[in-house]
Amino acid sequence: MTTPAFETMAEAAGTLANPALQAWKVQGGKVVGYFCSMLPEELLMAAGLLPFRMRATGSTDNEAADAYFSNLNCTFPRHCLSVGLEGGFEFLDGVVCLNSCDHIRRLYDVWRRHVPTGFIEFVTLPRQTGPDQIAWYTEEFRQLQAKLERHFDVRITPEALWQAIKLANETRRLQRQLYELRKRERPPLTGAEALTVMVAGTAMPKVEYNALLRTLLGDLQARETTGSYRARLMVTGGILDDPAWVRAVEEVGGLVVADITCFGARLMWEDIDESVSDPLAALARYYLADRPSCPRLYDKQAQRSHFAIEMCRTFGCDGIIGEKLMFCDQWNIEHYLLDTDLKAAGIPFLSLERTYLTSATGQLKTRVQAFIETMGK
């Protein structure tokens, strides 16, 4: 795809300090990074900050982080820490971490001591989604709000929160329109291109991104995917911010038409409820209970399997690929349980383990090609 809107998004997704972010900084804006999609970007937006979803795009090794992490730690935090230690996140004015997993939890300990970022805070994420947990998470957001107000000398009003929520909901609706196009027999964009668009939305101001996305949706109406494919596939997993990994899958004939990842459908499948009185409570309910969950939430496994099956059928997928980072206990267990549920539903499933950097694409392509052939494609 070579449209101007897509090329702008590709630049935002393919770099860290992208032009839109740099323009924000030149105008005096502040940028705060966050490590998990369960942290509400709306709270940062209401403070007048630019939320930046942390990733290590452009990293080539994690040597700098090896002094603090072992080779049995997940490669995602190791690469992020290496980039931070080497000055790659100098554009950040703050970072917020969650206990989304033990690796990120310990990354916070190292980061606050060795990566000067100005504002660094930690939010405690519950493990279940009941009323008590939602109340707990709401209070966590109130505490984070107070800390943001003190450090950045701002006041986050309920009106500012609702304005941010409405803007982010608009983004979600536009992104769902993009996914609707992927249901076509010949979608107007590939899975790698769709991921590029989604990653860009986590790294630039929402107003600018929404305008680009509207233009892109118009450009795509009459477009069809070039080339041929042998199977329609869905990808499910956690951190997947590298379109090159999806592109490798598609180069052997598997067109990725749907996903459930932390840079994909989990970000936008549902809107935040704008009818409640307390915006922080609305945020807590949405991020903890309403949107598609990941295995960090223990009481939602049955719903996750049901959602994967329904999405697979809705998008006309022939099979599902589960991607997981090495040494991720949560996703190891999730793939085992999901495989059992998908077998009962008659849906082929391939579990693929990977490192954060897309490498060994030959092996990846061989396994995907074999998976497609087992489906008779």
> What domains appear along the chain, each with residue ranges and CATH number?
12-157 (3.40.50.11890)
Banded model confidence at residue 222, pLDDT cuts 50, 70, 90: confident
Residues 314, 42: Cα–Cα separation, whole Å: 30
Of residues 230 and 227, the one with the higher pLDDT is 230
321 close to 249: Cβ distance less than 8 angstroms? yes
pLDDT tens digits, residue range 65-123?
999 998 889 999 999 999 999 999 999 999 999 999 999 999 999 999 999 999 999 99
CA atoms lying within 13 Å on the CB side of residue 366? 4
Of residues 363 and 44, the one with the higher pLDDT is 44
361 close to 247: Cβ distance less than 8 angstroms? no
Query: How high is the pLDDT of residue 228?
Result: 82
pLDDT tens digits, residue range 178-218?
999 999 999 999 999 999 999 999 999 999 999 999 999 99
Residues 276, 279: Cα–Cα separation, whole Å: 7
Banded model confidence at residue 34, pLDDT cuts 50, 70, 90: very high
Whether the predicted pLDDT of 14 surpasses 80: yes
Banded model confidence at residue 226, pLDDT cuts 50, 70, 90: low
Query: How high is the pLDDT of residue 110?
Result: 95
Q: Which of 234, 198, 251 has the alpha carbon at shortest distance from 338? A: 234
Query: How high is the pLDDT of residue 141?
Result: 98
Q: Can you tell me the mean pLDDT for 125-144?
A: 96
pTM of the model: 0.96
pLDDT tens digits, residue range 287-318?
999 999 999 999 999 999 999 999 999 999 99
Whether the predicted pLDDT of 359 surpasses 80: no
Q: Which residue has the tokens 């500012």?
A: 160
How many residues belong to the chain? 377
Query: How high is the pLDDT of residue 183?
Result: 95
Residues 257, 183: Cα–Cα separation, whole Å: 7
282 close to 311: Cβ distance less than 8 angstroms? no
